[in-house]
Structure 1
Amino acid sequence: MINMKIVGITNCPAGIAHTYMVAEAIQQKCESLGYEVHVETQGASGVEDRLTDAQIKEADYVVLALGKGLSDEDRIRFDGKKVVELPVSEALKHIDTLFDDIDSKAVVLYASKVKLGNEQAAVKEGIMSYLMAGVSAALPFVIGGGLLVALGSMMVQFGMPNTALAQGTHPSLAWVLTSIGNLGFTFMIPIMGAYIANAVGDKPAFAPAFLVTYLANDVDLLGTKSGAGFLGAVVIGLSVGYFVKYFRRVKLGKALQPLLGSMLIPFITLLVFGLLTYYLIGPAMSWLMSGLLDFLNTIPTSMKIGTGFIIGAMLAFDMGGPVNKTAWFFAFSLLSSHIYNWYGIVGVVTLLPPMAAAISTWIRPDLFTKQERGSSISAFIVGATVATEPAIPYALAAPIPMIAANTLAGGIAGALSIMFNVERIAPGIGIFDPLIGLEKPWYFFYLAVGIGLVLNVAFIIIFKGAWLKREARKAAQ
């Protein structure tokens, strides 16, 4: 079908790298096949290149590359269309064959009846996608709050006063900025719980989950040693979400049905989970969180370094995939408890794979294709400032040597980060984080990154060189 028309949507939990890389890949593949294509991105900046009703109506197929699911409103837009859905993390791997025999892959979407996607994939990725929906929503709170806290700290370091609010005195600007920034850390956990619940049970779950998660983290109300933290957000978010999801199936008749989502579900959910949280979930999660924090603060240094190696290796292993997201979620979630050294590993390791791949193309161009060499500058810049995902095309071209090199170097860099006690207080702009006060001490941060980069580049050159020689021998036989 030469004049085939394709429309698509791409999104991912963070809304930064995969969203736009996959959209570009779909557009390039369709254009190479002579298809008309329009792709809507649902990224960190909101919806861009939104599909029009006319484009959707005229489309032969809809491609959905999703990392955080599709809203009910979006499903309605594609009602009756032939749809191919796949995880956004898998899209780049399958882009070359995605449109081969597309009709056999497509499923007609009936918005009110059919659940898109492979059931096994949905089960495998469902919980993590819900958690990452919460993290994605919490990110702006931590980024904005972290930058303000860093700015207030820098002002104090430059000699400006840090005067707190007190009767008869006016607070200093540095104190005000720090206090506003700390609100971001206060609300990141309730927002995380609310959006986890929203991802499972939709809008009626949002408000109850937010309020109950806030309750679980208010030590004055609960009388506990610590708040429930991210553990509470996960448990409450998922519990409220699934409760509301099944509650919405209740049939009350035409007169009362409109009240279900707007009044009955929020009220009953808040009543049930408010009491459960006050008497059971909150204290239990607070006890677990206190135990986790005590463990992280008291484990021997050797065990910390070993754990740092594991976290670093996980972050580098699949470059934005589920293993990476699991390690990232653990480190990120501890920020609300003012534990920053595990997130310091994220700041170091996520820079390495794309930057190392780019540098390797400059040192040993004969090991890489023309296309890989041409993408090196972009991979270096984006990798240094935003995300790990630009390393994915290099890993797809030679998975065994590239993934092995990244994982080993990432593990070593993670261990060094813990050994040097590198701390990162919030997501920022990668290699420049120390310059804006988000990563410290700056000299150990750059030392860990430098050692990690040298090792990563060396491993890539050694492993890929050996791999290519082996492939050449196999081809000659």
Structure 2
Amino acid sequence: MITKLINKDLIKLDLQATSKEEVFKELVAVLYDQGRISDSEQFLQDILAREALGNTGFEEGVAIPHAKSAHVTTPAVVIGVSQSGIEYGAEDGLPSKLFFMIASPNGGDNHHIEVLAELSSKLIEEGFIDAFLNAPNSEEALTLLLAKETQQPVAATPANQGFIIGVTGCPAGVAHTYLAAEALEKGATAMGFDIKVETNGSIGVKNSPTAEEIERADAIIVACDKQVDMSRFAGKRVVKTNVKAPIRDAQGLINEALAAPTYQAEASSNAPNSIANKASQTRSDLYRYLMNGVSHMIPFVVTGGLLIALALAVGGEPSEAGMAIPDGSVWNQILEVGVVAFTLMIPILAGYIAYAIADRPALAPGLIGGWIANNGSFYGAEAGTGFIGAIIAGLLVGYFVKWITSINFHKFVQPLVPIMIAPITGSLFIAGLFIFVIGAPIASLMDGLTAMLTSMSTGNVVLLGIVLGGMAGFDMGGPFNKVAFLFSVGMIASGQTQFMGAMACAIPVAPLGMALATALGRKFELFEPSELEAGKAAGAMGLVGISEGAIPFAAQDPMSVIPANVLGSMVAAVMAFSFGITNSVAHGGPVVALLGAMNQPVLALICMAAGAAVTALTCVTLKKMRKAKMVAAMA
């Protein structure tokens, strides 16, 4: 495939760019000059749109920007080299020097996926990247790219050591899926094993092993950061790890798999350290379940948040009821589309957590449970439980449906279990639990919190700032946040606008703090690639007072993020009370200060910035401490 898409004229070894976008422009210009695209500006926008979904910078100075576009006339790969390197947002924090831009026609074949699979073998080839960066001219670089790898003489290895199965997959981006697969195939071949690797990429699951192949496999390697069906591997030697592990040491991973214990669907162990192992496995599984929900939720958060932010920033006007958009304005329609995405994000989080635990039978009840959890009207509360309730709903539904599907039903009933019995019973289970068991305490909690704030409203402003700010930063749209917000709005009517002033300063702290934290934590590798992209969107949401931009971070790592959000929001609220800041509209964030709804806009912005800085520094510190603890535990 790659030989049809590239020639020496599509290789530029002397990029002059000093920024990511300048790299794109230079490479797009080459494609246009070679007649591979019809509109350079529009194709550039398609590249930028794809980049907004997930950074395409990878380790060792390599970046693979790509797009399917209606403006591609002939599929092509253009390659650029920047000898000085540019800041691209790569996963290892190092500058990127080697760029493969893949142009694939919209509606055509998945050329970019096929090329990525082919490039994988070159990128993990010993010395290829350095040799390409040092190529004296385009002809030599093309020769290096197209050259077949020379087989190095190795010690004699028995031709047929056995059969290995691999599974690779990455929830964000596409390249690691195929790099890991290629690494496993090379490692197995070098050791004398036959291997079949299933790839869970952006074009779906490919090359799945049959039941017969699984039966004869000596070991299974699941190098996946997304949910896969593990039950099919019961009784086989299985090692589970992340998608980057085989890229680092495929042969070591194969040896580990060959020595691994047999996998049981319901794990149990008689080993002396079985309790510790089981606890560790439980934590690992829980993280994977949360990651599955968060990775599916992020596009809804980003889409909804940015559309709402755009509508409010451009079309919004301060009013007594908050930031309002005039009736009949096109920005109202854009706002409504954003609200739809925001309405769906909590059910999506719950649904895909449940899906990760019990597969497709749990998806529908998980979505339903998330919707009920986020809609307080089902159980008489003024606000839903937010993302915390969604996580609880997803986990409860997942394990309940997993139990239902494990029951040995009659063979005539069994086909109905995944499509009828499990979804219906799961939906009734979670609905009943929230409406009749969980809902009443939540409603009582909200009433109690409101009464507490009312009783404190005439007391010490520092203490009130700590409580109000802490509630604002705790759950970003959940009951604590909503109670604090509704209390502050109610106080506006009685002429006490200082409460809304403190709330307005606390509201944007969580998303702004996470945006700053992702920027600070990039070089420490503290955040997933999807989080780095979500951080940019969170920053935009924070500017217009949308606290939900921080939800993906809190859902993925609540032990680091929630304390950081709470502390930063407390700082902002206490400072606002101390400065006497007031706000006459039911909204928060820098946009409210800049539009004149706050009495001291400069001081208000200082309060927000201070809170965001405290949140960012606290989050980065906690994540570094947890990372160091994990490294020490693995040593």
Smaller-chain TM-score bracket: 0.5 to 0.7
1:124 aligns with 2:283: yes
Equivalent residues of 1:334, 1:340 under 8 A apart: no
Equivalent residues of 2:362, 2:397 under 8 A apart: yes
Q: 1:93 to 1:306 in 2, by over 3 A?
A: farther
Q: CA deviation at 1:82?
A: 5.8
Letter in 1 for 2:515: G
Separation (CA, whole Å) in 2 of partners of 1:88 and 1:343? 29
Equivalent residues of 2:571, 2:610 under 8 A apart: no
Q: Deviations over 1:96-145 (max 9, x none)?
A: 873473453356679x8989997454212222322222222222221111
Equivalent residues of 2:219, 2:237 under 8 A apart: yes
SS for the counterpart of 2:411 is: coil
Q: 1:184 aligns with which of 341, 349, 352?
A: 341
Separation (CA, whole Å) in 2 of partners of 1:292 and 1:46? 48
| Number of the residue aligned with 1:86 | 241
1:201 aligns with 2:358: yes
Q: CA deviation at 1:198?
A: 2.0
Separation (CA, whole Å) in 2 of partners of 1:31 and 1:179? 51
| Number of the residue aligned with 1:142 | 301
Letter in 2 for 1:16: A
Q: CA deviation at 1:62?
A: 4.4
Separation (CA, whole Å) in 2 of partners of 1:98 and 1:296? 58
1:162 aligns with 2:325: yes
Separation (CA, whole Å) in 2 of partners of 1:335 and 1:286? 11
What are the residue-to-residue correspondences of 1:203-352 with 2, within 5 Å?
Answer: 203-287=360-444, 340-352=508-520
| Number of the residue aligned with 2:207 | 51
Equivalent residues of 2:384, 2:479 under 8 A apart: no
- TM-score w.r.t. length of structure 2: 0.44
Separation (CA, whole Å) in 1 of partners of 2:467 and 2:362? 40
- TM-score w.r.t. length of structure 1: 0.56
| Number of the residue aligned with 1:16 | 172
Structure with more of its chain in helix, by fraction: 1
What are the residue-to-residue correspondences of 1:104-123 with 2, within 5 Å?
Answer: 104-106=258-260, 119-123=278-282
Letter in 1 for 2:241: L
Equivalent residues of 1:230, 1:334 under 8 A apart: no
- Judge which range, 34-43 or 143-152, deviates more: 34-43
Q: CA deviation at 1:86?
A: 2.0
Q: 1:8 to 1:279 in 2, by over 3 A?
A: same
Q: 1:28 to 1:101 in 2, by over 3 A?
A: closer
Q: CA deviation at 1:205?
A: 2.2
Task: Report the number of matched residues.
Answer: 366
Q: CA deviation at 1:68?
A: 3.7
Q: CA deviation at 1:182?
A: 1.0
Equivalent residues of 2:374, 2:390 under 8 A apart: no
Letter in 1 for 2:392: V
Letter in 2 for 1:66: C
Separation (CA, whole Å) in 1 of partners of 2:360 and 2:447? 31
Separation (CA, whole Å) in 2 of partners of 1:382 and 1:125? 19
| Number of the residue aligned with 2:50 | none
SS for the counterpart of 2:221 is: strand
Q: 1:181 to 1:87 in 2, by over 3 A?
A: same
Q: Which runs of 5+ in 2 are unaligned?
A: 1-156, 319-323, 457-462, 486-506, 537-562, 574-586, 590-603, 625-635
Letter in 2 for 1:141: F
**Identity across aligned pairs (percent)?**
26
Name the Cα RMSD after superposition: 5.8
Greater RCO (CA < 8 Å, at least 6 residues apart): 1
| Number of the residue aligned with 1:69 | 227
Letter in 1 for 2:240: E
Equivalent residues of 2:167, 2:198 under 8 A apart: yes
Q: 1:303 to 1:20 in 2, by over 3 A?
A: farther
Separation (CA, whole Å) in 2 of partners of 1:41 and 1:335? 43
Separation (CA, whole Å) in 2 of partners of 1:42 and 1:208? 25
Separation (CA, whole Å) in 2 of partners of 1:294 and 1:29? 61
Letter in 2 for 1:274: A
Q: CA deviation at 1:281?
A: 1.7
Separation (CA, whole Å) in 1 of partners of 2:246 and 2:469? 34
| Number of the residue aligned with 1:354 | 522
SS for the counterpart of 2:406 is: coil
SS for the counterpart of 1:252 is: coil
Separation (CA, whole Å) in 2 of partners of 1:382 and 1:216? 25
